[in-house]
Chain A
Amino acid sequence: MPAIVAELRTELVELLPRLRRFARVLARDPHDADDLVQTAIERALAHAGQLRADAPLAAWMFGILRHAWIDEQRARGRRGRLFAPAESAEEVADAAQGAAVDAIAVQDAVARLPEEQRLAVALVLVEGLSYKEAAHIMEAPIGTLTSRLARAREALQAMLGERDGAGG
């Protein structure tokens, strides 16, 4: 097993940037997102034996991170919902121009989506997974995934409108 774990560690290091991005879509706050990654890494290392040799590591890790996130949402309860949106409003005012401002607007909009829709957005639109892969990670049928995606897209369009042509 140690050899497997050592190999897993090496692959996980390479995967860290993507895991951080995925977590950032879910959690919005960078510190919270990195905490989620940390938890997922610890759990993955503790359960390295459960990783099937033929399974893509990224998908396995997204699944673990998703569970960590769900647990965290339950544990944190009202607090996250209570504080997250106001904080981001502040950042908008402080942020630089152009793309950075649009990125913050997009991140804010994503943060306002219901959790299941946000997860679908993270997996398909940001991480670029196929519907099949995403549905598997969400432990949901593909039809459920596609309807969440459709509702998420509709909500995001409503919140964001079209991008300013010049600012793009």
Chain B
Amino acid sequence: MTFNEETLIAYADGELDAATRAALEAAAASDPQLAARIARHRALRARLEEAFAPVLGEPVPERLLASTRREAPLQGASNVVRLEPRARPRWSWPEWSAIAASLVLGALLGPLLPGPRPGNAPVDTRTGQMLASGVLARALSEQLASAQPPGAPVEIGVSFSDKDGGYCRTFVLRERQALAGLACREGSAWQVVTLVRSATAAASGYRQAASALPPAVAGTLDELIAGEPLDAAGEAAARARGWNRPAR
């Protein structure tokens, strides 16, 4: 008697009727290959259970206990899900002031401006715009998020098309006090649209985790992006095109 995979899975999940179960067990007793296939399904199930079991032992967050135990103020319609504040205004002045409180713009840009060794600064403001230069410009033009060189001074995050069809990319400058930002291709240059200091980026290996992306950068991304971000293939294709917007 042969057993298909679904039957073996149902056995591992405890869903077989008694007769089929007995037949399968009898067959497995004399068929090591069959026994191994069953063991594989059971092992996967055990592995999944183990992987999530520790959650049961975690202390339940106080806010969950509080809203379960007593009348928590239900904010408005409780059937609207909001996991995080998303539509934050991009550069509302209070927010900007908060950022500015920790870094005067001059202090932020100071180390970036061309110094004794012009051409090395990652941002060039001589034209009156913030344009990427040096390592930043090179990384924006050359580096793929899907293949970041280890220890690179710039980490590229998300690449995407903006609503005008131009390309933009998020980045983190590791060496310069961990600045995070977003730049868009303008002609043959990268215009830095947003640049903020990122404590998160400094603290740990920075990844494009939603929680780690500085709000100002995330907000700008949300505002500019058209459709989906580029996947690895799209990113490589855009680079091959020199980041010129595709013909329409």
Contacts and interface: CB of A to CB of B under 8 A. Distances in A.
A163 to B, nearest CB: 6
Given A83-B208, A146-B6, A150-B9, A42 B78 contact: yes
A153 B52 contact: no
A13 B66 CA distance: 9
B123 to A, nearest CB: 25
Interface in A1-49: 9, 12-13, 16-18, 20-21, 24-25, 29, 31-32, 34-39, 41-43, 45-46
A95 interface: no
B241 interface: no
B52 to A, nearest CB: 5
Contacts of B81: 39, 68, 71-72, 75
Contact of A106 (B51, B209, B222): B51
Contacts of B211: 29, 31, 87
A99 B53 CA distance: 11
Contact of A21 (B13, B55, B64, B74): B55
A121 B48 contact: yes
| Chain A contact residues: helix, strand, loop or mixed | helix
Interface in A129-168: 130-131, 146, 149-150, 153, 156-157, 160, 162-163
Interface string A87-131: 101100110000100111011001000000000010011101011
Given A34-B61, A82-B229, A102-B47, A20 B55 contact: yes
Given A24-B52, A72-B83, A87-B212, A13 B9 contact: no
A68 B67 CA distance: 17
A69 to B, nearest CB: 9
A38 B63 contact: yes
Given A72-B83, A87-B207, A90-B204, A13 B56 contact: no
Q: Could you say which of B56, B64, B205 has the most chain A C-beta atoms within 10 Å of its C-beta? A: B64
B48 A110 contact: yes
A31 B208 CA distance: 16
Nearest to A75: B81
B17 interface: no
B60 A157 contact: no
Contacts of B175: none
B77 to A, nearest CB: 9
Contact of A90 (B69, B78, B209, B213): B209
Q: Could you say which of B13, B41, B68 has the most chain A C-beta atoms within 10 Å of its C-beta? A: B68
A76 interface: yes
Nearest to A14: B68
B45 interface: yes
Interface of A: 9, 12-13, 16-18, 20-21, 24-25, 29, 31-32, 34-39, 41-43, 45-46, 68, 71-72, 75-76, 78-80, 82-84, 86-87, 89-90, 93-94, 99, 102-104, 106-107, 110, 121, 124-126, 128, 130-131, 146, 149-150, 153, 156-157, 160, 162-163
11 contacts: A9-B70, A21-B55, A21-B56, A78-B228, A82-B229, A87-B210, A102-B47, A103-B51, A125-B13, A125-B49, A126-B48
Interface of B: 5-6, 9-10, 13-15, 40-41, 43-45, 47-58, 60-61, 63-65, 67-70, 72, 74, 78-79, 81-84, 86, 158, 204-205, 207-213, 222, 225, 228-229
